[in-house]
Chains A and B, each alone.
Chain A
Amino acid sequence: MSTSAQEIEHLISQEYKQGFVTELEVDTFPPGLDEDVIRRLSKVKNEPEFMLEYRLKAFRHWQTMPSPDWAQLKIDPIDYQAISYYSAPKSKKEGPKSLDEVDPQLLDTYKKLGIPLDEQERLAGIAVDAVFDSVSVATTFKGKLKDAGVIFCPISEALQEYPELVKQYLGSVVPTGDNFFAALNSAVFTDGSFVYIPKGVRCPMELSTYFRINAANTGQFERTLIIADEGSHVSYLEGCTAPMRDENQLHAAVVELVALDNAQIKYSTVQNWYPGDKDGKGGIYNFVTKRAECRGRNSKVSWTQVETGSAITWKYPSCVLLGDDSVGEFYSVALTNNLQQADTGTKMIHIGKNTRSTIVSKGISAGRAQNTYRGLVKVAKSAENARNHTQCDSLLVGDKCGAHTFPYVEVKQPTAQVEHEATTSKISEDQLFFCQQRGLSAEDAVSMIVNGFCKEVFKELPMEFAVEAQALLGISLEGAVG
């Protein structure tokens, strides 16, 4: 009498809308990883000598490390020799100087994804760096940003143009040997975005990177480095999609943020990597290390993430609060459906005095998915009057999914205040029926209830992203009612 089995069947068969493949001529390394591959990679990218050293050091360390197994995740063993570590559209060899030189097929691909790179069509106010497999294919509004003194370019370009700046900061937040996936990334990362906001500058537009995995059997290893100099402000967004493929693909990124005195960075993510089919076949392994250092006094970093994609997500965007009076924030919505797994959360490391952190995590589990929040709040002896508030809510849709919470709290300073609130709830049949009785379809009802549950996080997202995130939640939940 309520949603029919047929209707559910139909909804489940809805396709991942970004799952198409772009046919392009590409330069791809044969699968395999050794020091020669890394040398070749560094050479293809014409990198300064220090980068090759950096990569080799990371690679040697990585070889000694075991793959982490502490997360609440079931991961099939990954054959790192079966992955290709570099794939780039052929036309990109020299790097286009302007958008006119970008392969029209690539422009089409981004247009299809709803990210027109043509500056005329672009919503004014957002600059985009488009990363396709291993390389950045276009960056918009570079000129306008340059006028403000802002550097926004592919990190491979930054290594050519501003090697000293990259050298100074790269690996200073996430060292090469930090963890297994960060070490791998440090050895083989190919591209990503580089942002530098000079002293006292408020970045005149939102910056964004759109990551697209296209090639088969490749990994995407991107590296993002954002430096906000004293008194500067920047808001950065990232989005991700990939084609539907039966094989799992690895995405192991590292993001480093540095905020100096009185600087503010707002980093928002809408992650919609291909999640695999309803039987758990295929999908992206999203193993990402994101960390920010609030190095300066009174600096602030805010992470907002909406994670709806990927077969497996392993990700803990963190803040190291070094500067006195610095602030770290983490707002997260993680949604898993079908056989998706997510183990995600944050770390707030309080070192400076009067440092404050806020964590709001909303986990939604549907289908047979497993969703884990894992968070660490650490207050060092030096962090007098540190404060943290954590709120961690889980919502279950149906009765075959799971929600787990692992909060770790380590406090070495007696004046610290740490609060943790947690709830677990279920969308009840009564809520669904109530909405249907008011004329809403079951799927609209679930989407509305889930959006209500996520409201606190969505209000942290930039306007356009919030709208996108709401729509995405609706799509990701299709077929979840039953």
Chain B
Amino acid sequence: MLSIKNLHVTINDKPILKGLTLDINPGEVHAIMGPNGAGKSTLSHVLSGKAGYTVTEGSVTYNGKDLLELAPEIRAREGVFLAFQYPVEIPGVSNIYLLKAALNAMRKHQGLPEVDAMDFLTIVKSKVKLLQMDEKFLYRAVNEGFSGGEKKRNEILQAAILEPKLCILDETDSGLDIDALRIVSEGVNSLRNAERSFLMITHYQRLLDYIKPDVVHVLADGKIVKSGGPELALELEERGYSWLEGQAA
């Protein structure tokens, strides 16, 4: 469903990704690990369409479409979801309002009728329950005054409602204590199914104890330098990244 071929990306002419190749099939969970500055967040931003990055070479095909041609909101409506590392606050806009506007934007794109307020409430409440969240969350302004854990859980709630095809988790584990990590991971696991794919970006192996990946990749200096099964993550935890740097995949 996602095929990245020889992707080169620069920021202000500085090369960040230098020939990244990656294929994700429906239902697969891929983890990307790597040292700071390897280009992990750049990858998530380029896939979701954030401004400021220049693709100089390579291609990204998503469900048969050239992903890089699409505006960020179109990518989102086509099912690409990014759970942000640092979710922003939007004062005065309630969570439930944002969720409804977002869901209806998706449905409109898919040629479906908009959901009415009552049906929407039913959908939202079931997801809130699934993620063991307090319904009060829905009526608070988006991320305003949320703790780190609440913000991350809120991202997963959005994913649960928007039901993306490709879910990119950008350091979803950062800033979480062990209890919050467990709850967020359970939320993610509840979203796994045979069609939905995940791309998890993380520094630490511990997230992978909770969300079991099918494939683990090591990203270093703008390229995938090694891929393997879950055991690769354990090896990295033990040996660090330095032994892999400078290697080709």
Q: What residues make up the interface of A, taking CB atoms closer than 8 Å to B?
A: 1-4, 428-431, 433-442, 444, 448-449, 451-456
Contacts and interface: CB of A to CB of B under 8 A. Distances in A.
B76 A1 contact: no
Contact of B51 (A429, A434, A439, A456): A429
Contact of A453 (B48, B91, B162): B91
B171 to A, nearest CB: 15
A1 B53 contact: yes
Name the 10 nearest CB pairs between A and B, nearest first: A452-B92, A452-B93, A439-B105, A438-B102, A455-B92, A439-B76, A2-B51, A436-B72, A436-B73, A439-B77
Contacts of B158: 438
B130 interface: no
A455 B162 CA distance: 26
Dominant secondary structure of chain A at its interface with chain B:
helix
A451 B72 contact: no
18 contacts: A2-B49, A431-B88, A431-B90, A433-B50, A434-B90, A436-B72, A436-B76, A437-B72, A437-B73, A438-B98, A438-B162, A439-B73, A440-B101, A440-B102, A444-B101, A448-B97, A452-B91, A455-B93
Contacts of B51: 1-2, 429, 433
Given A428-B88, A431-B90, 8 more contacts: A1-B53, A436-B49, A437-B73, A437-B75, A437-B82, A444-B101, A448-B98, A453-B92
Interface string B45-88: 00011111100000000000000000111011100011010111
Contact of A433 (B72, B102, B106, B141): B72
Contacts of B97: 448
Nearest to A395: B91
Contacts of B91: 452-453
A63 B162 CA distance: 66
A3 B73 CA distance: 10
Interface in B96-125: 97-98, 101-102, 105-106, 109
A424 B28 CA distance: 45
Most B-side CB within 10 Å, residue of A437, A448, A449, A453: A437
Given A440-B102, A448-B98, A449-B93, A430 B88 contact: yes
Contacts, number: 87
A434 B84 contact: yes
A436 B80 CA distance: 11
A439 B109 contact: yes
A56 B77 CA distance: 66
B94 to A, nearest CB: 8
Contacts of A456: 92
Contacts of B86: 430
Nearest to A454: B92
Contacts of B101: 438, 440, 444, 448
Contacts of A439: 73, 76-77, 102, 105-106, 109, 162
A201 B158 CA distance: 50
Given A429-B51, A438-B98, A439-B106, A449 B72 contact: no
Given A451-B93, A452-B91, A440 B50 contact: no
A11 to B, nearest CB: 14
B215 to A, nearest CB: 24
Contacts of B105: 438-441, 444
Contacts of A429: 51
B145 to A, nearest CB: 14
